[in-house]
Structure 1
Amino acid sequence: MMGIIFAILVVLILVYVVCGFRIVPQNNEGLVETLGKYSKTVKAGFVFIWPLFQRIRKVPLALQPLEISKYSIITKDNAEITTSLTLNYLVTDSYRYFYNNTDSVESMVQLIRGHLRDIIGRMDLNAALGSTKEINDQLFTATGDLTDIYGIRVVRVNVDELLPSPEIQKAMDKQLTADREKTAAIAKAEGEARTIEMTTKAKNDALVATAKAQAEAVKTQADADAYRVNKLQEALSNAGEGYFRNQSLDSFNQLAQGPNNLIVVGKDEMTDLGKVPVIKKVWDQSGDNAE
């Protein structure tokens, strides 16, 4: 009978001891409590606790993502925007994480929300919509040290979106459309002004070119007339008196053959009359040469 009781006790002791072995997974720490009070922290691996008197709480140390759902924020100019963000955090002190706060993650979320409201609340709507990177940097700096009291370190925080309210979005769309129409109207007016400027310049250039061509033609004609006059004077200077007398007789013969054969001239002018056909002949020849 005693042997049976001893065997039962041995079996119970073995079961008790076996039940005391625990495994703490990789990237975890174990918080050992004795009679409900913290006693020690154990690393990942094979550990032993006293069943019924002790228990172990496993705390993950790996990097964990978290998405904070959309919520509203009021900007400096009283515009309502909806924001959502994501972050990555890890537990740096398992004791603080588990015992200093009933829900350290929720406390961290509330802290980040409060700082984000403060940052955006000091910015106008347009500044906030265009400063996502600056907001991320300020938020990361503001929350980095404060979350240490929860045994948590925020590794990355990112504002995923900043959306104005539907009413503000409609107003912004109208303003954007008006700005685009204004830009298009300005571009059209500038194009028309440029076209008028180019057309006017082309007309002015054509007028200048025409005036230059006309001036050149007048100069050429004047040069030709001057050349013919010089030739005429040269020919008259080289002709003898006998030649002019012969021409005068020919002129009188031509007049006599015409219907109007009466002409009165002085005796001194009779010889000059012979110069008329000579002048005409020389003038015509000089004109041909000038051309």
Structure 2
Amino acid sequence: MVYLILVIVVILLFLSCCRVVPQNNEGLIETLGKYSRTVKAGLVFVIPVIQRLRRVSLAMFPAEISKYSIITKDNAEITTSLTLNYLVTDSYKYFYNNTDSVKSMVELIRGHLRDIIGRMDLNDALGSTSKINSQLADAIGDLTDLYGIRVVRVNIDELLPSVEIQKAMDKQLTADREKIAAIEKAEGEAKNIELTTKAKNEALIATAKAKAEAVKTEADAEAYRINQLQASLDKASDGYFRNQSLDSFNKLASGPSNLIVVDKDDMTNLGAVPATAKIWQKSTDKKE
């Protein structure tokens, strides 16, 4: 019975000396309340009552910094919120150098963000989220090492102006859009007038060119006719012109006029004119 009790006591003492540090954790062993050493994941032996094991997770943690107000360089109030991921890089600093390293890290990030945005105008801040993220990551990179923490990623989820500023910005945006729309409408109308005027001018020019071409064509045709006629007349004999003269005399004699003017060279041909013959006959009858 005594042996059994001793075996049980030894087993209990052994078990009380055994501690397990989980995967992706580190263990801080304290001896009589004072830091002794850091151990890795696995089975760890400690002295009961005298020593104590504290576990620190090395896994990545997400964190959210709730909305808070920041004043810009031009005294505009904006509200921002952030999300970040961090992990413990030095379990000793994380546990012993600060009573709440995570809270200290959050306050540090807030302070640097206020400083960055406080040096920017409202419009610059609202349009430079990526730039602010980069500057903030550079600013807090070395300082958080004091707490044994490394910020892996920090991101500004939103930057919102106050309600009054948002209303003013909406009004300004509406006015700008209306102005742009009015300018575009005026430019469109001016362009339409320009194109219409150009089309009318081109039509007038085309019509004038067509008329000029028609007149030129008609003149060319008339000139060709006259040239052809002149060429034919140049080739005609004297008999042709005499015949034309006699034919003209005949036509005049057949008309109502009693006066005919002829060339002296054609006096011998008067007998061929009917009107002359009649006048001659009447003169002869009176004499008789």
Tell me the TM-score normalized by structure 1: 0.84
**2:200 aligned to which of 188, 198, 203:** 203
Question: Which position in structure 1 is the counterpart of 2:147?
Answer: 150
**2:254 aligned to which of 257, 265, 275:** 257
Matched, 1:121 2:142: no
Equivalent residue runs for 1:87-106 within 5 Å:
87-106=84-103
Equivalent residue runs for 1:30-69 within 5 Å:
30-69=27-66
Matched, 1:213 2:219: no
SS at match of 1:126: helix
Q: 2: CA distance between counterparts of 1:35 and 1:84?
A: 43
Matched, 1:110 2:107: yes
Q: Kindly tell me the number of residue pairs found equivalent between the two proteins.
A: 268
The one-letter amino acid paired with 1:181 is E
Q: 1: CA distance between counterparts of 2:232 and 2:45?
A: 144
Question: Which position in structure 1 is the counterpart of 2:169?
Answer: 172
- 1:211–1:173 distance in 2 versus 1, CA, 3 Å: same
- 1:261–1:55 distance in 2 versus 1, CA, 3 Å: same
CA contact under 8 A between 2:70 and 2:114: conserved in structure 1? yes
Tell me the TM-score normalized by structure 2: 0.85
Q: 2: CA distance between counterparts of 1:93 and 1:230?
A: 116
The one-letter amino acid paired with 1:188 is K
Q: 1:14: how far off?
A: 4.2
Equivalent residue runs for 1:217-232 within 5 Å:
217-232=214-229
- 1:39–1:269 distance in 2 versus 1, CA, 3 Å: farther
SS at match of 2:47: coil
Question: Which position in structure 2 is the counterpart of 1:73?
Answer: 70
Matched, 1:184 2:184: no
Gaps of 5+ in 1: 272-291
Q: 1:77: how far off?
A: 1.0
Q: 1:23: how far off?
A: 1.0
Q: 2: CA distance between counterparts of 1:77 and 1:130?
A: 15
Question: Which position in structure 2 is the counterpart of 1:163?
Answer: 160
How far does the alpha carbon of each residue in 1:185-225 deviate from its partner, in whole angstroms, 9 at most, with x for none?
22222222221121111111111111211221222222222
The one-letter amino acid paired with 1:240 is S
Worse overlay, 83-92 or 6-15 = 6-15
CA contact under 8 A between 2:23 and 2:41: conserved in structure 1? yes
SS at match of 1:196: helix
- 1:238–1:53 distance in 2 versus 1, CA, 3 Å: same
Q: 1:255: how far off?
A: 2.1
Equivalent residue runs for 1:4-43 within 5 Å:
11-12=8-9, 14-43=11-40
Question: Which position in structure 1 is the counterpart of 2:275?
Answer: none
Worse overlay, 227-236 or 149-158 = 227-236
SS at match of 2:65: strand
* Alignment root-mean-square deviation, CA: 2.2
Q: Percent identity?
A: 76
CA contact under 8 A between 1:248 and 1:270: conserved in structure 2? no
Q: 2: CA distance between counterparts of 1:231 and 1:153?
A: 109
Question: Which position in structure 1 is the counterpart of 2:136?
Answer: 139
Q: 1:265: how far off?
A: 4.0
Question: Which position in structure 2 is the counterpart of 1:193?
Answer: 190
The one-letter amino acid paired with 1:61 is L
Q: 2: CA distance between counterparts of 1:270 and 1:182?
A: 97
- 1:270–1:177 distance in 2 versus 1, CA, 3 Å: farther
Gaps of 5+ in 2: 269-288
